[in-house]
Structure 1
Amino acid sequence: MKEILYIEDDIEIGTIVKEDLEQRGYVVHWLTSGEKIGEMLGDAKVVILDVMLPGLDGFTVGQRLKHNHPEVSILMLSARTAVDDKLQGLRFADDYVTKPFHPEELAARIDVLFRRNQHTVSTEIQLGHITVHTTENRIVKNDGEEIFLTAKQHQIFMYLLRHPNQILTKEQLYEAVWGEAYMEGDKTLMVHIRYLREKIEENPSDPQIVETIRGIGYRVKQ
């Protein structure tokens, strides 16, 4: 069963989207604000989130949701087409669709998120000398020794794994994990990456798993 949590305050748009997605076989839980999103998330693996909401805006709601539930895929919906708005949304969201949109396009993008999520959840990922058991949140070396990460190290690593082969900027990683805007010059992320490498890399001074892309950010190759 594919469950979606949908947050949209426009009744007309919400009704159309909900009915269309339900006809396609999705189970859709619809809220008109982001206030009860934590209570209503349940087993939903995809969240469709409108930007213009009463109370907290969609950007704030989405950042908090991603911080508390990094495994959930977020698709932002917005009438805002400015590049700055899209970039703000994509710092934490997995996709961004501008209004007006065609139901077929929305459904296709949702299907991609579910397939990506399914792949991430069900797969054991082999990275050199370690195996990541994503369903159990365990990391084991080839000799059987288990690696234990702190909460922040785990969030950083899992976020990188959910975006395989993609170069993620320091801003993207920081805002996804800490739920706050990245301040230029802040060394917090760099320190956590260094300690993460000390645990998962065979040679932390020559990392092969979490790569540094000079001047941009980090990447995990799969």
Structure 2
Amino acid sequence: MRVLYIEDDPEIGEWVERKLKENDFKVSWYRSGHNLPDNMEEYDAAVLDVMLPGLDGFSLGRRLKRNFPQLPVIMLSARTAIDDKLEGLEFADDYMTKPFHPEELIKRIEIQMRKFDRTPNETLSIGHLTVLLDQQIIKNKETSQEILLTGKQFYIFKYFLRHLNQILTKEQIYEGVWGEPYRDGDKALMVHIRYLREKIEKDPSSPEIIETIRGIGYRVRG
């Protein structure tokens, strides 16, 4: 899943680029709307900042939608006035105001890609589970029953699936899912994993899907 990302602020740009890559997006980050790649038809979505040097995001977004109407365009802006939002939504498929959470941006990109039928149908088999990532559906292969997770539980499990066979620390998981540094003593992640295990494991007291790596963190084997 390839994303064109245009942002002139280096701090925000590095942060968003890192978060998108952690979720398996291929990111091409540009500081301005000049000299865009020649292979635009290969991109699955465009994320544009409004305040750009030279060609502003609105002008660039209109040009992209005119030349590539099937390319989802998401605008990012610190402008919160309704007039700015309405101007952006005249051509763009979505409009997000800063500050924003990376989890929400990723979800909005995925939603737009599904609308334009640009999201690959990714199905994984993990133990007794079948996971349809694009539809956010988890089923027990033995019973054919769907397992219902909360949004946060699914994001945690999805983060594991994006990093199959890797040992992940609590700090990595927390930052990847919550989008902020882990705080010592914070029990939120452990609580969510406990409830997640109760739903997906055959025996939560002896988990086979989400392994505990003593003294380090967790791992899901593919």
**Alignment TM-score, normalising by the size of structure 2:** 0.57
- Equivalent positions of 1:1-222 (< 5 A) are 2-9=2-9, 14-15=31-32, 19-21=35-37, 23-25=38-40, 26=42, 30-31=48-49, 43=72, 64-70=100-106, 121-142=120-141, 143-222=143-222
Question: Is the 1:130–1:141 Cα contact (8 Å) retained in structure 2?
Answer: yes
- The letter of the residue matching 1:126 is S
- What secondary structure, in the 3-state scheme, does the structure 1 residue paired with 2:196 have? helix
Structure 2 counterpart SS, 1:146:
coil
Structure with larger Rg: 2
How many residue pairs align between the two structures? 157
> 2: distance between equivalents of 1:215 and 1:63?
35
Distance (whole Å) between structure 2 residues aligned to residue 65 and residue 160 of structure 1: 19
> Which residue matches 2:113?
none
Report the Cα distance in structure 2 between the residues aligned to 1:156 and 1:178, rounded to whole angstroms.
Answer: 9
Q: 2: CA distance between counterparts of 1:172 and 1:33?
A: 32
Higher mean C-alpha displacement, 165-174 vs 189-198: 165-174
How has the CA–CA distance of structure 1 residues 14 and 69 changed in structure 2, closer, same or farther, with 3 Å as cutoff? closer
What code does the residue aligned with 1:24 have? N
Distance 1:44 1:219 in 2: 35
The superposition leaves residues 122-167 of structure 1 with CA deviations (integer Å, 9 ceiling, x where unpaired) of 2211111110111211111011111011121111111111122222
Contact kept, 8 Å, 2:48 with 2:73, in 1: the verdict is: no
Identical positions, percent: 42
Per-residue deviation, 1:202 = 0.8
Q: Report the alpha carbon displacement of residue 6 of structure 1 after superposing the two structures with TM.
A: 1.9
Cα separation, 2, equivalents of 1:62 and 1:200? 36
TM, length-normalised to structure 1: 0.57
> CA shift at 1:44, angstroms?
6.5
For the structure 1 residues 18 and 168, does the alpha-carbon distance in structure 2 shift closer, same or farther, using more than 3 Å as the test? farther
Note closer, same or farther for the CA distance 1:146–1:30 as it changes in structure 2 (3 Å cut).
closer
- 2-structure distance, mates of 1:174, 1:62: 22
Tell me, which stretches of 5 or more residues in structure 1 are unaligned?
A: 46-53, 55-60, 74-119
In 2, Cα distance between equivalents of 1:44 and 1:212 = 40
The residue aligned with 1:81 is none
Aligned-CA RMSD value: 3.9
Offset of 1:221 from its aligned partner? Answer: 1.2
For residues 93-117 of structure 1, the C-alpha deviation after alignment (integer angstroms, 9 at most, x for no partner) is xxxxxxxxxxxxxxxxxxxxxxxxx
Contact 1:165 1:220 in 2 (8 A): yes
SS of the equivalent of 1:68 reads helix
Give how far 1:174 is off. 1.5
Which ranges of structure 2 fall in alignment gaps of 5 or more residues? 11-29, 62-70, 79-96, 110-118
